[in-house]
Homo-oligomer: A and B are copies of this chain.
Amino acid sequence: MIGKRLADVEAILAETLSDSSYPLAAETKEIVLSGGKMLRPAFVLMGAGFGKQGKKSGDRDRINHIAASIEMIHTASLIHDDVLDRADIRRGVPTLHTRFGVTNAILAGDWLFSRSFRLVADYADNKSARMLARFMGSVCSAEIHQDLSKFRYATSRRGYLRTIAGKTAALFSLSLHVGASEAKAGATLTQALRRAGYDIGMAFQIIDDILDYESDDKTLRKPVGNDIKEGLCTLPLIFAMKRDEAALRPLLGKEGMNDENVARVLKIVSDTGALEHARSVARHFTARALKEIDMLPPCAARDDLLSITQKLLTRTY
């Protein structure tokens, strides 16, 4: 069900990003369509499934376009993110900035933002447009906080949770909220979906950060230990620092850390039990999310939401 609708969203993305007058349109479109999980659009569609509208073809089309705009905002922020993190690979393909330089990657991100806002202006109501603009601001704040704290290893658990709230949970939350609100779901239901999206997003990001300490390159399609190399202090490292700072501190340096030291940090973090500790925090958010989903009115969208959430929050790669 959701899969069929997501194919429609992908068709909208392909059409929206076909623009012969923009020099990097083809390459940017390739990144958008190169096998991202399309999670955020899926959340928009599921949110809409709780509404009174959204069954008619015209409503469906409108909501598909809003879902597409959210995937574009997400990918635009990933492209800028990759510039900031100097990442080489995204979704299995080389990042834009490694192929066309930092400046063109920045512009490609800006172009995606502009395309996205065009769809929003065409299809979303003003309330949704405002929420999306506010989200974009909150991502920038979170990113800049994260960037300013790189290589300092002084992030607190609280600071970390605030960052991932702005960076990840905000968009999951917003996707369910906008979907529900555009399909005219009631205010109480919309708020409940917003909370569920927030908790799913928090658990999702914590698990993502744990997997950076666990997965190998083949399964996650993203190299393990990348956060350590980039000087990012995520939850596993925050907990490990509390337990064995003496062993970790000398290994955590400035930029250009070698692979041997990265491997040592990975081992120490694992030995301290910090990964299990981080997993318990993720479980806390997962439990809250499942409880919130449980209280939603029974419908096909709730089944989808439950099944996707269970899959996301128990993944091991």
Interface centre among A80, A104, A121 (most CB of B within 10 A): A121
In the complex, A257 has a CB within 8 A of chain B: no
Q: How many residues in A have their beta carbons less than 8 Å from beta carbons of B?
A: 40
Of A110-118, A204-212, A239-247, A279-287, the one contacting chain B is: A110-118
A277 CA / B148 CA spacing, docked (Å): 49
Residues 1-60 of A contacting B (Cβ, < 8 Å): 19, 21-24
Distance A59 CA – B30 CA, assembled complex (angstroms): 44
Select the stretch in A135-143, A173-181, A305-313 that faces chain B. Answer: A135-143
Chain B residues lying within 8 Å of A106, measured Cβ to Cβ, are 80, 83-84, 106
CB <8 Å contact, B137 and A118: yes
A80-B110 contact, Cβ under 8 Å, with A122-B130, A126-B121, A147-B103: yes
Within 8 A of B (CB), among A78-107: 80, 83-84, 102-104, 106-107
Docked-complex contact A136 and B113, CB < 8 angstroms: yes
Smallest beta-carbon distance A79→chain B, Å: 11
Q: Is A129 an interface residue when CB atoms closer than 8 A count as contact?
A: yes
Is chain A's interface secondary structure helix, strand, loop, or mixed overall?
Answer: helix
Assess whether A187 is interfacial by the CB under 8 Å rule.
Answer: no
With a cutoff of 8 Å between Cβ atoms, the chain B residues found around residue A129 in the complex are 117, 120-121, 129
Query: How far does the alpha carbon of A288 sit from the alpha carbon of B231 in the complex, in Å?
Result: 57
CA distance A118 to B136 in the complex (A): 10
Of all chain B residues, the one with the shortest Cβ separation from A117 is B133
Most chain-B Cβ atoms within 10 A of its Cβ — which of A109, A134, A137?
A137
Q: A80-B107, A102-B102 are in contact. Are A114 and B143 (CB under 8 A)?
A: no
How far is it, in angstroms, between the C-alpha of A194 and the C-alpha of B220 when the chains are bound? 51
A190 to chain B, nearest CB (A): 18
- Are A130 and B141 in touch, CB under 8 angstroms? no
Q: B residues within 8 A CB of A291?
A: none
Per-residue CB proximity of A254-294 to B under 8 Å, as 1/0? Answer: 00000000000000000000000000000000000000000
A115 to B132, CA, bound (A): 11
In the bound complex, CA of A143 to CA of B111 (Å): 11
Assembled-state Cα–Cα distance A120/B117 (Å): 11
Residue pairs across A and B with Cβ atoms less than 8 A apart, 13 shown, are A19-B137, A21-B141, A83-B103, A110-B110, A110-B113, A111-B144, A114-B140, A115-B133, A117-B132, A117-B133, A117-B136, A118-B133, A118-B137
Binding site for B on A (CB under 8 A): 19, 21-24, 80, 83-84, 102-104, 106-111, 113-115, 117-118, 120-122, 126, 129-130, 132-134, 136-137, 140-141, 143-145, 147-148
Q: Which 3 residue pairs across A and B have the least CB separation, nearest first?
A: A114-B136, A121-B129, A118-B133
